[in-house]
Structure 1
């Protein structure tokens, strides 16, 4: 059985830097956003802490947390 990286502890003497948790961005219903892959859109649905439903005009996409590829305009 292998352990995931999240359950491993970081040793102070390790030559590698400690893993960094991604910062979770917060969006609200109606926010205008820019996504690296899909372009410009508007938040049309919110699943608190899980996902955002975004309307990009030609399509809607469910973007999962931590929203690293999406920024508020």
Structure 2
């Protein structure tokens, strides 16, 4: 599953500049990811933890058009 920027329930980590220890760890992780996976787009997920497995389940059964969007909308209320 590829997460695109602007997907509801995700935040682009490049917009987070709060500093602090966690901010420094996030920046270090982004730098490492840039070296090892230059096309990756790290994001902080704010959706329910069950959304990921549910989306994987939909990928497996081949849902109709719009099913993933409806599922995301349900868990991002």
Name the TM-score, length of structure 1 as normaliser.
0.21
User: In proportion to residue count, which structure has more strand?
Assistant: 1
User: In proportion to residue count, which structure has more helix?
Assistant: 2
Name the TM-score, length of structure 2 as normaliser.
0.20
Looking at CA atoms only, which structure, 1 or 2, has the larger radius of gyration? 1
